[in-house]
Amino acid sequence: KPAHGNVVLRMSEVMEPLVMEEAMAAEEAVMEEHVAATLPMMSQSMPFMERPAALTGALAGDVGFDPLGFAKSEEDLMNFREAEVKHARLAMLAAAGWPLSEVFDKKIASALNLAPVLDANDRAPSLLNGGLGKISPLYWVGCLGLAAAIDVYGISRSKSNDPEYFPGNFGFDPLGAYPKGESGKEWMQLAEIKNGRLAMIAVTAFAVQEAVSSVGVVDETPFFFFPLMQTLHQYANSGYIS
User: If residue 220 lies in a helix (H) or strand (E), which one and from where to where?
Assistant: helix 217-220
41: pLDDT strictly greater than 70: yes
Of residues 238 and 67, which shows the higher confidence score? 67
16: pLDDT strictly greater than 50: yes
In the chain, pLDDT over 70 holds for what percent of residues? Answer: 83
The Cα 109–Cα 135 span in angstroms is 13
SS3 at position 195: helix
161: pLDDT strictly greater than 60: yes
20: pLDDT strictly greater than 90: no
Question: Mean pLDDT over residues 124-135, rounded?
Answer: 92
Q: Is 235 exposed, middle or buried (0-12, 13-18, 19+ CB in 10 A)?
A: middle
241: pLDDT strictly greater than 70: no
The Cα 122–Cα 106 span in angstroms is 9
pLDDT at position 237 is 73
pLDDT at position 81 is 93
Q: Whats the size of the chain, residue-wise?
A: 242
pLDDT at position 186 is 92
Give the model confidence (pLDDT) of 206-219 as tens digits.
999 999 999 999 98
In the chain, pLDDT over 90 holds for what percent of residues? Answer: 47
The Cα 37–Cα 31 span in angstroms is 10
Identify which of 200, 208, 215, 211 has the alpha carbon closest to the alpha carbon of residue 95. Answer: 200
Model confidence at 34, pLDDT cuts 50, 70, 90, reads very low
The Cα 205–Cα 234 span in angstroms is 24
37: pLDDT strictly greater than 70: no
How far, in Å, are 174, 178, 196, 197 from residue 183 at the CA level? Answer: 21, 11, 20, 21
Please, which residues bridge with residue 126 across strands? 130
pLDDT at position 17 is 61
Do 88 and 199 touch, CB atoms closer than 8 A?
yes
Provide the mean pLDDT of the chain.
Answer: 84
pLDDT at position 19 is 59
The Cα 1–Cα 173 span in angstroms is 65
Model confidence at 236, pLDDT cuts 50, 70, 90, reads confident
pLDDT at position 26 is 62
Which residues make Cβ contacts (< 8 Å) with residue 214, sequence separation at least 6? 121, 123
How many CB atoms neighbour CB 77 within 10 A? 22
Question: Mean pLDDT over residues 135-143, rounded?
Answer: 94
Do 60 and 187 touch, CB atoms closer than 8 A?
no
